[in-house]
Homo-oligomer: A and B are copies of this chain.
Amino acid sequence: MLKKVEEKEKEKKRKQSNLPRNILKMCENMMEINFGDSIISTLSCDKDGLSLKKSSLLKCPPPFLLKTYELLEEGSEVEDGMKIVSWNEEGNGFVVWFPAEFSELILPRYFKHNNFSSFIRQLNTYGFRKISSKRWEFQHEKFQKGCKQMLVEISRKKCEPSVFPSYLKSCSEENATTNNSSVEENTNENHELLMEENKNLKKEKLQLQMQIAECKALEMKLLECLSQCMDSQQNKVRRLC
């Protein structure tokens, strides 16, 4: 059963990889069209050969999101009419009605585990929120019924500040100053960015200091060697005279 889902996904990836990969890559690099984690336009491959027409290539969403979306479309039931998990009424979130059954029956068919908490962990990683204290209902702005393509706009929260792509750095500063949509959020973000950068700088500083300490130690040794060498030279010369 697990196979089915995985096969489906691999099929998709295979299709995607049928595009001339080198060229795609080069193109992405040169035009930076991969920026922004959403739909990109690029080269495509006809049966006549490579053609340089622009087409909207739909990026594959992260497997976790795709699987979660598909598991909702499938709609298994515990009994007649009682879904284990389903979209909420508004279609802007979903509810796990029977966590035990969900973990035991649904999860292992889509993922490599049957732990509800691991599933939740992933939801959090992708920025979902639990929006009810009474039931297992989760929501994400870009995770909505009937909008499968919107999944590509969801991305994992990055864990390490150090992994800040250099090309993002400059633009995040711009955003903070130009984008007025929500000032508070931006200052917070900016603040956090600064703190992160700060932390990294401190780390780097320490590393550099350690490097210098090593250099100094080496210098001392070399000087010692040199002095010994000169001493012995003197001695030998003296002796020979």
Interchain nearest-CB distance for A195 vs B (Å): 6
Contact partner of A179 (CB less than 8 A), chosen from B162, B179, B195, B204, is B195
B212 touches A195 (CB 8 A): no
- How far apart are the CA atoms of A232 and B199 in the complex, in Å? 50
Number of residues in A with C-beta < 8 Å to the partner? 49
Residues 150-177 (chain A) with a chain B CB within 8 angstroms: 160-162, 164, 168, 172-173, 175-176
| Closest chain B residue to A214, Cβ basis | B215
Interchain nearest-CB distance for A148 vs B (Å): 27
Contact partner of A164 (CB less than 8 A), chosen from B206, B209, B211, B233, is B206
Q: List chain A positions with a Cβ less than 8 A from chain B.
A: 112-113, 160-162, 164, 168, 172-173, 175-176, 179, 183, 187-188, 190-191, 194-195, 197-199, 201-209, 211-212, 215-216, 218-219, 222-223, 225-226, 229-230, 232-233, 236-237, 240-241
A-B residue pairs in contact (CB < 8 Å), sample of 22: A112-B112, A112-B113, A162-B162, A162-B203, A172-B203, A173-B199, A179-B195, A183-B191, A190-B191, A191-B194, A205-B208, A208-B208, A208-B212, A211-B212, A215-B215, A222-B223, A229-B229, A229-B233, A232-B233, A233-B236, A236-B237, A237-B237
